[in-house]
Amino acid sequence: MRTTLTIDDDVAKLLQEEATRSGDTFKGTVNDVLRRGLLDRRKPQRKKRFVVKPLPLNTGLGTRYDKVADLIEAMEGPLYR
């Protein structure tokens, strides 16, 4: 298939460098790079797994953050309500 394609100057330079490096023609290099790029986009992207690192809930006040009423009492006194 023949078509006219406008390629940015920086991309054309990279393609020409790749064609020179590989010993392939410019046309062959363009087809190869497009083919690899299009096939790569079909592959599902692997995302880095999110890992939660738990921390102790100790406040140093003799109470814990998971006991909110105790924490408020320790901070504001027994008459906080």
For residues 24 and 33, the answer to whether their CB atoms sit within 8 Å is no
Domain that holds residue 36: 9-42
Domain count, the chain: 2
pLDDT tens track for 43-73 = 887 888 899 988 776 656 665 667 777 778 7
Provide the whole-model pTM: 0.52
Which whole number is the average pLDDT over 21-31? 95
The fraction of the chain above a pLDDT of 90, given in percent, is 46
Q: Is residue 3 part of a domain?
A: no
The more confidently predicted of residues 65 and 3 is 3
Q: Is residue 2 part of a domain?
A: no
Is residue 13 pLDDT above 90, yes or no?
yes
Residues 14 and 33 in one domain: yes
Q: Which amino acid is at 45?
A: Q
